[in-house]
Structure formats: C-alpha cells, structure tokens
C-alpha cells in the first residue's frame, strides 16, 4: 500500500516548461463556498513543503469521490493532519494519492470516514486500474419519496385531511429520500463549506419550520431525482475516457521458451516477448512486427479512418484491431507503458489543469455563493424588522433565494464541457494536454509549420529522369542506380529505390568512392562514372550554359538534381524531391477558411521552401533556418501581436514548439517523448487534425458561453420572480437542477461523432 517517493516525484519537465500556463495546481487549503467548485480542489494539491526525504505514498479508492464537492471536503480535512504534504485526486478512477511522512494510513482513513466516505487502501499495482462501477443505490427509497411527496401535495391541495396527516406523509418523503442529503449537508456545514447539500438541507429545514411541509417534501424529492439524473449524465463524460481502457484485451497469445504458444494476461507479458495476433483480434501490447502481413485499424490511437498496412518492421499499438492476416510482433512496451496507456494518463492529467473559463467561474462562485447567502439572510430579517413585513412571507422568499443561490449549474458547466472536449479530441487522434490549450486553440491567428515530415512525407522520391546522351538511353538509369545503391544518402536511396520499382538490373561496381558533399564515383565494365550534384559537375569542368539553365529550372521547383557523368560529359540527370502530402493542401485550405495565416519555417534552401509553400498554398516561407532562427521567427510574430501555434516533428523544432502559444507534435504515436512534452499531440501525420482541433476549440468556447449565460440568466430571472412572491420552493429547485442538467447535456454535445 505504501511506497517511498521523493518529495517532488509528481513533477515532470512539462510542468516546468509550461508553468506560465498554470499546469501545476498547487494551492494551500482553504474553505470553499461553492457547491461543486473544482477550483478549490485541483488534481494536485501541495499542502506544505517537504521537510523530509522519507515521504510515503498511500493510495485509496473512494467510491463516493466523484465530484469536486467531496474533493474539497477531503482536502480541508486531510490538510489539518500533520505530515500530509501532497494530495492528488483522480476523479475519473475515484483514486486519492496521499504523500505523507509520519501520518499513518489509519489516521487518514479515519479522517475520510468522518466525512461519511469510505477509503479503500490500494497497493501501487492496482492504483492505475480503472475504477469498478459503483454499486447502484436501491431505487425504492426515491420512489417512496416521490409517491409520498405527490401524496402530500395532493392532500394539501384537496384539503380533506388534517394538517398533521400532511406533515406525516411529507416527513416520510423527506426521510426516505433525504437522509443522505442531510448527512452530507451537516458534514459540509461543520467544515464551513456551503455546498449544494448544505444549502438544500437549510432550505428544506426552513420550509418545515414555517409549516410548508408539502413543499419541503417536493423540494427534497426533486433534488434527489435531479442529482441521480445528473450523476448518470456525468458518467457519460467519465466513461468517454474510461471506455478507452476497455480497448486493450486482457489476454495475449505469447510464445513460450519451448516454442509453444499460450495465452497470458497482458500485464504479465515481458518486454521482447513474441506475440501472435489472429485476424479480427485486438492487439494487446505495443510492438514491432516480426512476420506476417495484415491491415490494422488504428482509429482508437490515431483517429485514421482507413486501415493501415503492416508488415515486418512496422509498429503496432495496443488497442488497435488486426483485420486481414495473422501477425507476430515483438513487444516493445509493457502494458502500463503502451501508447494507449500514455494517452489515457495524459487525458486524465489534463483534467487537472483548469481552463481559463473554469478558473473565472470558480473565482466568481467563491464570491457569489456567500454573497447570495448573506443576501438571503438579509431578505428574511430586514423587511419584517424595518418595514413591517410578514415574517412568514419573507422567510419563505429567503428560502427560495437560498435554493436559487447555489451555483452548481455554473460551476459544473465548465469541467463537463472540457472533459467532453478532451475525450472527443482523443477519439479523433488529437491528444490535448489541458483545458488551457483546448480553449486557446480558438484564439490562434497564425500557424508556423516545419516542412520535412510535417507538410511533406519526409521521404525523398525520384520525380524526374532525363537522358542527355542518346547512346545511354538503356543503360543510364541502371548505371546510376548501381552507384546510388552503394550510398546511404537519402537522394541516392531514392534513385536506387526508383530503379528497383521498375525492375532494372544493377551492375557490379568496382573501385567505389564517396565524394564528400558532392556525390559518388565508381567503375562499371571498366569505365569510371560519377554520380553527383551541380558542384561536382563544376569541379569536373563539364558544365555548360544549357545545362545550368536546366538545373536552375528544376531547383526552383524545390528539387535536388544529380547527374550521371563519364569523362566526356553529362549522360543523364535525376531530380529528387520530398513530396507533399495530399492532406497538407487540404489542411492549409481549411486553416485559411478559419482565418489562420500560415508560415513555413525550414532548414532547406529558400528555393525549395518557396516551391513547397506554393504547392500547398502557404502564405509565407522562410528557408535556411537553424533552430535558433525558428525560435526568433516565433518571437517576431509575437512582437507583431500574433497568437502563434507551431507544428513540428523533430528535435530541431523543440525551441519554437516550446515558445509557441500551442505546440503541435506530428505523428506522436509510438514516440516516447512527444506525448509527454507536446501541448497537442497529433497521433498520426495528418495535418488536417489541426483545423479539426481549432473547430473543436471554437465549438467548446461557444458551449461554455452558452452554459454561463444560461446558468446566470435563469438565476437572474428567478431572483426577480422571487421578489414578486410568485416563485415557490419546488419551482426554484426544479429551475436550479433543471438548468444544471441542461448545461451538462449541452456540454456532452461535444462527444457526438
């Protein structure tokens, strides 16, 4: 259950790299005055600085900890215990991590039990397991409460029974459905926390004290019914992440030492083990194909709509589906370290980084709730004392205000929308590392892009071939490919690959030489040939104005040209280029439709940069850039007031990626560092995911605005109606919980495919 950890074991490089974005949620314990305030209990809470190197980590499963309400109570309670240094909450799996020194686990369990919650100790191995579905509460108490509340209202309206009968039936409704609410409310009041349970307990008790028994019963029933519906609705957002965990099969067919194949639990499969997967099966672990050919549906990881062909040497990912043929692959990552596991962990961690709107709402609710509570108290007392008002009427209106006061709809609207957005993006193969980036995407107005591997395939191919000496019509490509095949330069490999695809037979090469920075040379059938660039042609004195013009024309198209030469002059030329992805053109067009300008930042020569930019429609291209130059370009755009994103896939892009408002890492699937360090990781190399991300960000912002306006608007209307005396308690509950459900359902719209 306990394991030693260093005091700062939770911090990663990413925390430090992006501290300006408020990634780490360190805060001192303080009392919350909102019903579901996520701000009061962020995912990671540093209670006090570490004073010891012997810090223990204890983990607990708390089934009832599924809302920031419980999170805040736990934080405030454990914050009073000596030796508790840090808390980390995982509401998705209902797991609490406690970093402590001399505080024993029994004291921690007792402190949590005092809040009416049960903490089940976990060992380190089980901490990452998905939470089992909580036991469903029996339905009959709520049913009894509803029938009794309706009966009390009916008897009271008809007036055929004495008041004590109405009170008795109403009391049955309150006790059968509301004992849990009262218990939670009392605990919250003792903790000086005005959450929804505390406010509802005060309102129902007040209604009983002024003789409004039927309304008190209906208020309690409606509240508990709405809480049940809301919990089920929130489970959908929670399950959107939890469902990813079900993608990996429990068993894998593994080769044993004696050559036999047996099924093992994927958690027991060792690195380097050989695993077989049949057609139609899910792949259980990350690995590299050793034998077999098949197509694999990678949509759960990369969001690709079409299956990807796999053969020896290709990577496969846990959770993807093998479709056509049998494959055998070598395991490259343990079950807990697979690409899918890292995606799930990243999305869960992202929920702890509060988005700007969520921070605003939480700060607003901390002021709003106690202010309205004080206002309700003033409404109950001042008019009767100062203006001769009727005590009964004004206390009743104050109770209605108290019910309306809870900002539950306002507070819950932001996290459920953010979680839905993060989950929707993950389904599309877009891994967003926090709500701050999900919201920030809509503000981008300039996007900088690397060229190789981002806009282009990053794999040069032969695009042009021309024979300059007619006598060599049949032999030129064979000789060039024979020389190129002895080199590992990307341009040479492209020429050799093109010849291989055409089935051209190669010649033996004697006395081969690599000419640094110029090309290669060798003897074929006793004749020395050279295969090299423009510079080599100049050195050999074999250039001409006509050849210069031809080379210049190809180079202006962004192509690299090499020539085959013998002692008399050029025999053939070959042009090689890194081809543009079809998806890049469409992606740039979509970005322009969204009003986002683009600039290419590349280390290639300016001619190539301009040619590629023209092909895909990029607004501006800059070539011959070192990593520091790319960073300077981002700084220059910032100085002009631009909101800049940066897309890249290489180490040389790291400074610019870190400086940009949002850094996008291309083709992150299977990359050890990209998922951990990028702000947004595109799991495949499809650039169209960036406009999809921007559209999702804008949709998320629209829904957040709608939810805030809806929540505040309904409360404003009811506050006005309350002063007219037209609002009733059950109407207030219906409106308050009704708008809570509306904002939840509105936020869940992001999960639609």
3-state secondary structure of 85: strand
Reported in sequence order, the residue ranges of 605-750 that DSSP labels E, i.e. its strands, are 620-622, 644-648, 662-665, 680-682
Distances (CA, A) of 270 to 99, 124, 331, 441, 574: 30, 19, 7, 40, 48
pLDDT reported for residue 233: 61
Banded pLDDT at 304 (limits 50, 70, 90) = low
Q: Rounded mean pLDDT of 320-329?
A: 91
Banded pLDDT at 130 (limits 50, 70, 90) = very low
Percent of the chain with pLDDT over 90: 23
Q: Which of 80-94, 320-334, 531-545 has the lowest mean pLDDT?
A: 80-94
Q: Rounded mean pLDDT of 112-125?
A: 80
Look at residue 102 and tell me whether its pLDDT is greater than 80: no
pLDDT reported for residue 214: 85
Average pLDDT over the chain, rounded to an integer: 80
Confidence (pTM): 0.68
Contact 328, 285 (CB under 8 A): no
pLDDT reported for residue 692: 95
pLDDT reported for residue 91: 66
pLDDT reported for residue 37: 37
**Which of 688, 130, 701, 747 is closest to 428 using CA atoms?**
688
Q: Rounded mean pLDDT of 86-96?
A: 77
The dihedral sign for the CA sequence 647, 651, 653, 656: positive
Q: List pLDDT tens digits, range 502-511.
A: 888 889 999 9
Residue 367 contacts by C-beta under 8 Å, 6 or more apart in sequence? none
Residue 677 contacts by C-beta under 8 Å, 6 or more apart in sequence? 13, 14, 17, 665
pLDDT reported for residue 351: 55
Q: Rounded mean pLDDT of 607-633?
A: 88
Q: Rounded mean pLDDT of 48-69?
A: 75
pLDDT reported for residue 276: 96
3-state secondary structure 328-377: EEEECCCHHHCHHHHHHHHHHHHCCCCCHHHHHHHHHHHHHHHHHHHHHH
Pick 693 or 420 by higher pLDDT: 693
pLDDT reported for residue 559: 82
Banded pLDDT at 4 (limits 50, 70, 90) = very low
Q: List pLDDT tens digits, range 343-394.
A: 777 766 655 555 677 667 667 766 777 787 788 888 888 988 888 888 888 8
Q: List pLDDT tens digits, range 558-587.
A: 788 889 998 888 989 999 888 888 889 999
Q: What is the dihedral of CA 201, 204, 206, 211, to 10 degrees?
A: -160
pLDDT reported for residue 606: 83
Q: Rounded mean pLDDT of 263-292?
A: 93
Beta partners for residue 65, in sequence order: none
Which residues participate in catalysis according to the annotation? 450
Q: Rounded mean pLDDT of 257-277?
A: 93
């Amino acid at each position: 259950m306990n394991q030693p950890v260093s005091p700062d074991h939770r911090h990663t490089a990413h925390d430090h790299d992006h501290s300006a974005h408020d990634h780490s949620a360190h805060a001192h314990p303080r009392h919350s005055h909102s019903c579901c305030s996520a701000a009061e209990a962020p995912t990671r809470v540093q209670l006090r600085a570490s004073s010891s190197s012997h810090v223990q980590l204890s983990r607990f499963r708390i089934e009832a900890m599924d809302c920031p309400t419980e999170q805040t109570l736990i934080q405030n309670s454990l914050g009073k215990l000596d030796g508790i240094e840090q808390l980390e909450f995982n509401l998705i799996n209902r797991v609490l991590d406690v970093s402590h020194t001399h505080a024993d686990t029994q004291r921690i369990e007792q402190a949590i039990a005092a809040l009416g919650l049960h903490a089940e100790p976990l060992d380190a191995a089980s901490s990452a397991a998905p939470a089992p579905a909580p036991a469903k509460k029996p339905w009959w108490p709520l049913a009894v409460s509803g029938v009794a509340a309706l009966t009390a209202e009916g008897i009271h309206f008809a007036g055929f029974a004495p008041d004590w009968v109405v009170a008795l039936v109403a009391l049955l409704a309150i006790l059968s459905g509301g004992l849990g609410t009262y218990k939670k409310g009392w605990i919250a009041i003792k903790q000086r926390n005005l959450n929804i349970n505390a406010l509802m307990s005060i309102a129902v008790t007040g209604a009983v004290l002024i003789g409004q028994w039927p309304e008190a019963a209906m208020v309690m029933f409606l509240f508990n019914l709405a809480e049940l519906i809301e919990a089920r609705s929130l489970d959908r957002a929670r399950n959107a992440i939890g469902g990813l965990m079900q993608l990996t099969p429990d068993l894998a067919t593994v080769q044993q030492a004696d050559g036999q194949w047996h099924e093992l639990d994927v958690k027991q499969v060792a690195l380097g083990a050989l695993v077989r997967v049949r057609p139609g099966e899910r792949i259980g672990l990350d690995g590299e194909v050793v034998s077999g050919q098949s197509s694999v549906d990678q949509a759960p990881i990369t969001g690709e709509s079409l299956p990807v062909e796999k053969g020896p040497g290709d990577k496969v990912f846990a959770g993807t589906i093998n479709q056509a043929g049998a494959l055998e692959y070598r395991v490259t990552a343990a079950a807990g370290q697979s690409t899918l596991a890292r995606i799930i962990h990243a999305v869960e961690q992202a929920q702890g980084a509060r988005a700007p709107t969520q921070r605003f709402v939480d700060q607003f609710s901390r002021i709003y709730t106690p202010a309205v509570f004080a206002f309700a108290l003033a409404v109950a007392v001042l008019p009767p004392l100062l203006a001769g008002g009727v005590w009964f009427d004004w206390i009743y209106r104050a109770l209605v205000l108290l019910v309306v006061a809870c900002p539950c709809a306002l507070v819950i609207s932001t996290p459920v929308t953010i979680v839905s957005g993060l989950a929707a993006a993950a389904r599309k193969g877009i891994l967003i590392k926090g709500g701050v980036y999900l919201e920030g995407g809509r503000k981008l107005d300039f996007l900088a892009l690397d060229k190789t591997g981002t806009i282009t395939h990053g794999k040069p191919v032969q695009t042009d071939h021309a024979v300059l000496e007619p006598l060599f019509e049949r032999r030129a490509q064979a000789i060039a490919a024979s020389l190129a095949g002895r080199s590992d330069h990307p341009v040479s490999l492209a020429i050799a690959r093109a010849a291989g695809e055409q089935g051209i037979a190669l010649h033996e090469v004697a006395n081969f030489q690599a000419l640094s920075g110029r090309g290669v040379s060798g003897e074929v059938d006793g004749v020395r040939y050279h295969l090299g660039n423009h510079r080599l042609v100049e050195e050999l004195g074999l250039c001409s104005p006509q050849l210069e013009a031809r080379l210049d024309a190809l180079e202006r198209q962004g192509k690299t040209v090499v020539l085959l030469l013998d002692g008399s002059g050029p025999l053939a030329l070959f042009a090689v280029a890194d081809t543009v992805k079809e998806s890049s053109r469409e992606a740039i067009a979509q970005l322009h439709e969204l009003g986002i300008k683009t600039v290419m930042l590349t280390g290639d020569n300016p001619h190539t940069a301009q040619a590629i930019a023209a092909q895909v429609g990029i607004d501006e291209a800059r070539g011959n850039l070192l990593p520091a130059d790319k960073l300077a370009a981002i700084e220059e755009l910032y100085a002009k007031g631009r909101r800049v994103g940066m897309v890249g896939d290489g180490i040389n892009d790291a400074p610019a990626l870190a400086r940009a408002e949002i850094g996008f890492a291309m083709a992150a699937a299977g990359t050890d560092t990209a998922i951990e360090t990028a702000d947004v990781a595109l799991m495949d190399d499809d650039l169209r995911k960036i406009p999809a991300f921007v559209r999702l960000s804008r949709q998320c912002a629209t829904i957040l605005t709608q939810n805030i306006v809806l929540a505040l608007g309904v409360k404003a209307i009811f506050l006005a109606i309350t002063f007219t005396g037209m609002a009733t308690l059950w109407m207030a509950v219906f409106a308050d919980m009704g708008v809570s459900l509306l904002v939840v359902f509105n936020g869940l719209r992001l999960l639609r495919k």
